[in-house]
């Protein structure tokens, strides 16, 4: 159940029997032909599904992540690294104050990794806090599904192309991943990636996507047992 | 239209004929019997309605605001003042980079006022930026609607009780606003406010709520002509 | 009594029988024809008068506030929002350390509002701290005085024109408040406001000013009973 | 002339013929038997005297400095090092914006030294800025006066005992400077220094104080020729 | 050549024909039986070797990284995430100011990843900056060497056991990697890891280590061609 | 002994009988003809010598300090004041966590003074922490050695010219210290100082340097008894 469907009294009642919560750490950034909010939508869908099976609460999505390399693709909204880790810290501290102790952060975006070290710093400071960080797209289970179908994962390609992230028609073709060296700035990233997709097929059979989603969901359910 | 329903190419196309965008500055905090996300939901609803009439884009909601006084009401997620103004700054800077010049920030929460001075600092720095800050609940137009019905606005009371913020049944009674002096900390706020409502009737006739919403929407449409 | 007229031994003696202190939260910014330090001088005068009647100590004025919109009016000295809230925090923490528990912050400047949420955050952290924030110019009591004389309050107009804030002759005329939309940057503010006064008569009868001052002083004395 | 005696129009007129300004970087901290505001009052007196002779403007005093070692002496108000350098930065940037280019910072407190490196960083960033930092109490000229009278300077002792910093009677005796090793925290500083004076005679003949003041004033006048 | 063996005139001369520099991003943290400075020593050795072959300059090592999980292992010195990214930023900005444009950051420690997003932010701001980030221990080339010998990489195990990181005798045995869920705090990390090694054999044949080093060095030389 | 020659078990063993540690607070900045790392090398040499006699541990050098005035001399790497004090804080906090209580910071660079006030703030916060700050070049003992030989100390001149800081031949001549007023920015500093030396002879007899070193070492050994 999402916090938005509840009032504070509901949360107080929940805390009498459970201390777990799911956090959505998303991003608003270019995903080629897909929704700008893909990185919030996927972990949100996983959280909703896991919540339905377990009853664990789902906090409102943090819709912005760290995406400085995409700041030439209109619509990307990037938090500075320092801002981002402060937001995650404030979310965790607020929830810890009510008695939430096991927090599973479902991260949707690779650029958000800096929050992990801040989480460890918080775990040093807040007794009893158990935080976990799950990234669906490069989880072992998901990688195995991809490999079984002879596929590799790339940003904004088939792996993120779910019915709920699609906002338009997609090319049928497959993209050759561009080659480059070093860290690209936003200008160079746009020149390098063109439509914003990093490589591979733009879409695959829906059954594969179901397998991917179910593999990630199984992980989330497993992670929730901590 | 919401950014989440678009990809970056759609935004690039939009920017060729318009440079306006609506930002939702919300909060996740106790609202008595109403949804914890009330302060995101109301400006979101206003933004969606205004967008439908004008075609102006709507950025994803910032779901967290500054609510330190409610940190004893489970479910409230409060950003530090310093974190919050950094987030708003990063949102504005990202969008400015693509050519957005007129940004209307629809604020849903009183505690978020600190962002206003930061917006002025940004307006000094970013040539051509026109930012506007609109708070629906204490706008002159909304206050007039309330007065016409002999009502006053209070946090989490009738004025925020829309069909889309309601998550449970509400009391039929009217609450006497509590008296106190000085700044309440979270502990004192909970003792003072009990169920979290600041006073007044918990609900009024749906027709009044429609009037309130239409008055605010009219304001938003007026503000968008800047 | 002001801290500047005392040494630390005097303060230590005071703390044996009282734990209240008055803080002056001012600003150095354009006030049309009036002193650049108007926003420090008014709360200072109120604090001195209240101190004389109650013996409550008065801390040295913070002479700088948040005034980014006036940074094209020479003489305005504006702290960034983040700097300003850090200063207020440090003042409160220092005084709390000696046993001061009831702190009344007399704010002279509208742009300083961001400190209020930081004060709540501090009140959550520092047990027993009672902080109060008083703004004289838009207090109910002062507004009533104005209304009785058919007057409205505007920045740098009659309402701030005390004998002790006057540094030159003032126009006899009345100014039409300018109309504008959105947040003005410093350049636009100067173009919009010209001499820096927001509207209304530049001066009124001294008897009215005495009424205003006495109304605010009465408020301060009332607030000190917390 | 002090900014508080002027309005913005006066400052604008001044800038047509001069671009110098005097800043008072003070402190509110224990000074033994002397005023808690000694470190603001001395540079203020020097600035006022220099202003009278040269017409250079004087900005409002920053009444708070970095005094963590005195946080067990009631009345000391200490800014964190990071806060303090941010305040000085904001003061300098605001004034630079109007065309002030030569800024003489009269520092009254040893703990404020951290601002100097920030001033150099600002001088790298703001073309044409000429900042100077003057500390009267350990200036060569003042040290020479002291030596001529067989005196050494100590915090809160004779060297800071001017008619305008005195708030009570002082001991006639001379204090033996305490011995210690390493950095004292606030608790240890109070145990070590007792009445807060670092050593030497508490007071000397008024003629010596006049010599000290005139030596420092001469320095300030010299520094203003930059 | 290392900067420490040069004076500024040497650097000025170098910049006339090259704009590359190698930065050592290290850490001071527990490495089981190995040196606390292992994460500085390995990239330093790689940098020195690469410098000898190419003449590219080597900046002094940043000896501290982000290691909050090891703060119960005496000797670990951990920078907060925010401090760490500020240091890397200041290093890059200083060097950029002289004309260095191609900077290869040799990172020795997994916890330092947060700097990468800050580097992208800097690349957006500083025209012509080409930064690259190389982590030797999980580079494809090094992983291949490990796999050829049937080995996997673990913190503080054989992979970091070079002659120049060894400070004592090591166990001959092989360690079973411990199992756990979620983010460990420092207390839990010590309980989980015991001697601090994450798993695998403590040491392997010196010839394998030479292969590892040569593979990484080859990478560094390749990266330097950017 | 240096931490780099130890593993964490060695440090744990050390802490059973001693709680002292030596920290090297250095800089990477122009020193005329001398090594860019002179300000790290001198305190490192002192620390190593003191460690050999006392067995007190030596932490890895912080190789970067606050040197904004030298940012036009290639090779200088300057941390912002705010970054620098954060690093020193993190070093102290990490070591305090293991039981280190007496920390002697050997500072090699004048621009690093801002850390001292932060150390006092930390000493207020961390019970039992005894920090000391030693600057060799302007210590009374070293000044006396210089005076006995009719010498004065200047940046990058004879006083810093040790066998281990020399990287090239030096002029035989003596430099006249340049005159200037106010705070120099990096551009002005380079124009003013030319080769980067502040004045005096570039080199003196090695026997004098031995005397200087021994005087400083005696100080360090004395400071370690705290």
ipTM of the shown complex: 0.97
H or E element, residue E217: helix E206-223
Across the interface, whether the CB atoms of E116 and A183 are under 8 A apart is answered: yes
Residue entry with tokens 């705010």: F82
pLDDT of residue C16: 98
Furthest-apart CA pair in chain A: how many Å?
54
Contacting F residues, span 57-76, partner chain D, CB-CB under 8 Å: 66, 68-69, 71
Across the interface, whether the CB atoms of A75 and B28 are under 8 A apart is answered: no
Average pLDDT rounded to a whole number, residues E153-182: 96
Give per-residue pLDDT as tens, B149-183: 999 999 999 999 999 999 999 999 999 999 999 99
Distance from CA of C157 to the nearest CA of B (A): 22
Chosen for mutation from A12, A60, A197 (greatest number of chain B CBs closer than 10 Å) is: A60
* Residue A19 near residue A104 (C-beta atoms within 8 A): no
Pairing, β B174-175 against β B130-135: unpaired
Number of H-type helices and E-type strands within chain C: 7, 6
Q: Which chain B residue is nearest to residue C111, measuring alpha carbons?
A: B117
Beta bridge partners of F25: F62, F107
* Residue A166 near residue A113 (C-beta atoms within 8 A): no
Average pLDDT rounded to a whole number, residues F167-177: 95
Q: What is the mean pLDDT of chain E?
A: 97
Across the interface, whether the CB atoms of B74 and A36 are under 8 A apart is answered: no
For residue F144 the two structure tokens come to 């006396």
Kindly tell me whether chain B and chain C come into contact, counting contact as 3+ Cβ pairs under 8 Å: yes
Give per-residue pLDDT as tens, C159-173: 999 999 999 999 999
In SS3 terms, chain B reads as: CEHHHCCHHHHHHHCCCCCEEEEEECCECCECCECCCHHHHHHHHHHHHHHHHHCCEECCCECCECCHHHCCCCCCEECCHHHHHHHHHHHHHHHHHHCCCEEEEEECCHHHCCHHHHHHHHHHHCCCCEEEEEECCCCHHHHHHHHHCCCCCCCCCHHHCCCCCECCCCCCCEECCCCCCCCCCHHHHHHHHCCCCCCEECCCCHHHHHHHHHHHHHHHHHHCCC
C-alpha distances in angstroms, F123 versus B26, D69, F118, F131?
40, 9, 9, 7
Query: Which among F93, F81, F95, F74 is positioned nearest to F3, based on CA atoms?
Result: F95
Distance from CA of F153 to the nearest CA of D (A): 17
Residue C131: list chain B partners with CB under 8 A.
182-183
Using CB atoms, which residue from A11, A35, A78 is nearest to B90? A78
Residue F33: list chain E partners with CB under 8 A.
7, 9
Across the interface, whether the CB atoms of C98 and D79 are under 8 A apart is answered: no
| Rounded Cα gap, residues E86 and F141, in angstroms | 37
Query: Which among F28, A68, D117 is positioned nearest to E94, based on CA atoms?
Result: F28
Average pLDDT rounded to a whole number, residues D80-108: 98
Residue D77: list chain C partners with CB under 8 A.
59-60, 90-91, 94-95
Distance from CA of E83 to the nearest CA of A (A): 10
Across the interface, whether the CB atoms of A185 and E123 are under 8 A apart is answered: yes
pLDDT of residue B204: 97
* Residue F73 near residue F47 (C-beta atoms within 8 A): no
Confidence bin at C224 (pLDDT 50/70/90): very high
- CA E7 to centroid of chain Cα atoms: 25
Chain E CB within 8 Å of residue F56 CB:
no
> Which region, left, alpha or beta, applies to residue C32 given φ > 0 means left and ψ of -120 to 50 means alpha?
left
Give per-residue pLDDT as tens, E85-129: 999 999 999 999 999 999 999 999 999 999 999 999 999 999 999
Residue entry with tokens 């020659």: F5
| Torsion angle of the four alpha carbons B142, B147, B149, B152, in this order, in degrees rounded to the nearest 10 | 80
| Rounded Cα gap, residues C90 and D84, in angstroms | 10
Chain E CB within 8 Å of residue A221 CB:
no
Query: Which among C122, B195, B192 is positioned nearest to A8, based on CA atoms?
Result: B195
| Rounded Cα gap, residues F43 and F22, in angstroms | 10
Using CB atoms, which residue from D121, D181, D226 is nearest to F182? D226
| Rounded Cα gap, residues E30 and F10, in angstroms | 11
Give per-residue pLDDT as tens, B36-83: 999 999 999 999 999 999 999 999 999 999 999 999 999 999 999 999
Interface size between A and E, measured as CB pairs under 8 A: 100
| Rounded Cα gap, residues A23 and A203, in angstroms | 28
Residue B20: list chain C partners with CB under 8 A.
none
Whole-model pTM above 0.90? yes
Chain F CB within 8 Å of residue D118 CB:
yes
Query: Which among C59, C34, C9 is positioned nearest to C159, based on CA atoms?
Result: C34
Across the interface, whether the CB atoms of C123 and B185 are under 8 A apart is answered: yes
Q: Which chain A residue is nearest to residue B195, measuring alpha carbons?
A: A9
- CA D65 to centroid of chain Cα atoms: 10
Q: How many residues does chain D have?
A: 226
Contacting D residues, span 153-182, partner chain C, CB-CB under 8 Å: 167-168
Give per-residue pLDDT as tens, F67-83: 999 999 999 999 999 99
Using CB atoms, which residue from D71, D117, D223 is nearest to F68? D117
Query: Which among F155, F175, F117 is positioned nearest to F31, based on CA atoms?
Result: F155
Chain D CB within 8 Å of residue F192 CB:
no
C-alpha distances in angstroms, D12 versus D59, D96, D97?
14, 13, 12
Chain E CB within 8 Å of residue A138 CB:
no
* CA atoms B143, B144, B145, B147: torsion sign: positive
Beta bridge partners of C58: C2, C22
Kindly tell me whether chain C and chain D come into contact, counting contact as 3+ Cβ pairs under 8 Å: yes
Residue F114: list chain D partners with CB under 8 A.
81, 85, 113-114, 117
| Rounded Cα gap, residues B68 and B79, in angstroms | 8
C-alpha distances in angstroms, F184 versus B210, C19, F192?
65, 47, 9
Distance from CA of D88 to the nearest CA of C (A): 9
C-alpha distances in angstroms, B161 versus B108, B137, B210?
13, 12, 11
Across the interface, whether the CB atoms of D98 and C4 are under 8 A apart is answered: no
C61-89 as b/e: b if 16+ CB within 10 A: bbbbbbbbbbbbbbbbbbbbbbbbbbbbb
Distance from CA of D63 to the nearest CA of C (A): 7
Number of H-type helices and E-type strands within chain D: 7, 6
| Rounded Cα gap, residues E215 and E198, in angstroms | 23
Residues 6+ apart with CB under 8 A from C140: none
Interface size between A and B, measured as CB pairs under 8 A: 166
Using CB atoms, which residue from D117, D124, D223 is nearest to F81? D117
Kindly tell me whether chain A and chain D come into contact, counting contact as 3+ Cβ pairs under 8 Å: no
C-alpha distances in angstroms, B99 versus A66, B37, C184, D175, D207?
20, 30, 19, 68, 68
* Residue F73 near residue F190 (C-beta atoms within 8 A): yes
Give per-residue pLDDT as tens, C71-105: 999 999 999 999 999 999 999 999 999 999 999 99
| Rounded Cα gap, residues B137 and E164, in angstroms | 67
Give the pLDDT of chain A (226 residues) as one tens digit per residue: 999 999 999 999 999 999 999 999 999 999 999 999 999 999 999 999 999 999 999 999 999 999 999 999 999 999 999 999 999 999 999 999 999 999 999 999 999 999 999 999 999 999 999 999 999 999 999 999 999 999 999 999 999 999 999 999 999 999 999 999 999 999 999 999 999 999 999 999 999 999 999 999 999 999 999 8
Across the interface, whether the CB atoms of F223 and D181 are under 8 A apart is answered: yes
pLDDT of residue D20: 98
Chain D CB within 8 Å of residue F221 CB:
no
Kindly tell me whether chain B and chain F come into contact, counting contact as 3+ Cβ pairs under 8 Å: no
In a 10 Å sphere around its CB, with 0-12 CB exposed, 13-18 middle and 19+ buried, how is residue D152 labelled?
A: middle
Using CB atoms, which residue from E12, E32, E75 is nearest to F74? E12
Domains of chain C: 3-223 (3.40.50.10310)
* Residue B169 near residue A9 (C-beta atoms within 8 A): no
What is chain B's Cα-based Rg? 18
Chain D CB within 8 Å of residue C127 CB:
no
DSSP string, D108-123: --GGGTTHHHHHHHHH
Interface partners of chain F (CB pairs < 8 Å, 3 or more) are: D, E
| Three-state secondary structure call for residue D152 | coil
Residue F71: list chain D partners with CB under 8 A.
124
Residues 6+ apart with CB under 8 A from F50: F22, F56, F217, F220, F221, F224
Residue B121: list chain C partners with CB under 8 A.
68, 80-81
In SS3 terms, F87-115 reads as: HHHHHHHHHHHHCCCEEEEEECCHHHCCH
Give per-residue pLDDT as tens, A5-20: 999 999 999 999 999 9
Residue A114: list chain E partners with CB under 8 A.
81, 85, 113-114, 117
Measured N-to-C along each axis, helices C81-98 and C115-125 cross at an angle, to the nearest 10 degrees, of 40
Confidence bin at B119 (pLDDT 50/70/90): very high
Percent of chain F with pLDDT over 70: 100
In a 10 Å sphere around its CB, with 0-12 CB exposed, 13-18 middle and 19+ buried, how is residue E6 labelled?
A: buried
pLDDT of residue D180: 94
C-alpha distances in angstroms, D98 versus A171, C73, D11, D13, D51?
56, 8, 9, 11, 19
For residue A202 the two structure tokens come to 């733009």
* Residue B118 near residue B25 (C-beta atoms within 8 A): no
* Residue E29 near residue E70 (C-beta atoms within 8 A): yes
Residue B68: list chain A partners with CB under 8 A.
none
Contacting D residues, span 3-32, partner chain C, CB-CB under 8 Å: 3-12, 15, 28, 30-32
């Amino acid at each position: 159940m999402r916090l938005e469907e509840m009032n504070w009294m509901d949360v107080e009642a929940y805390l009498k029997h459970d201390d777990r919560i799911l956090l959505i750490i998303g991003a608003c950034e270019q995903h080629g032909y897909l929704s700008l909010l893909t990185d919030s939508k996927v972990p949100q869908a996983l959280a909703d599904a896991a919540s339905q099976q377990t009853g664990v609460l789902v906090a409102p999505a943090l819709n912005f992540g760290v995406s400085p390399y995409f700041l030439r693709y209109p619509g990307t909204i990037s938090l500075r690294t320092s801002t981002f880790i402060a937001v995650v810290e404030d979310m965790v501290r607020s929830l810890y104050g009510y008695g939430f102790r096991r927090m599973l952060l479902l991260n949707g975006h690779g650029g958000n990794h800096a929050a992990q070290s801040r989480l460890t710093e918080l775990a040093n400071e807040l007794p009893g806090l158990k935080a976990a960080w799950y990234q669906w797209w490069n989880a072992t289970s998901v990688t195995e599904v991809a490999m079984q179908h002879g596929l590799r994962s790339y940003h904004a390609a088939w792996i993120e192309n779910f019915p709920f992230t699609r906002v338009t028609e997609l090319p049928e073709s497959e993209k050759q991943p561009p080659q480059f060296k070093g860290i690209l700035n936003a200008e160079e990233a746009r020149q390098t990636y063109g439509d914003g997709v990093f490589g591979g097929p733009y879409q695959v059979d829906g059954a594969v996507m179901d397998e991917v989603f179910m593999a990630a969901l199984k992980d989330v359910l497993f992670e929730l047992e901590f």
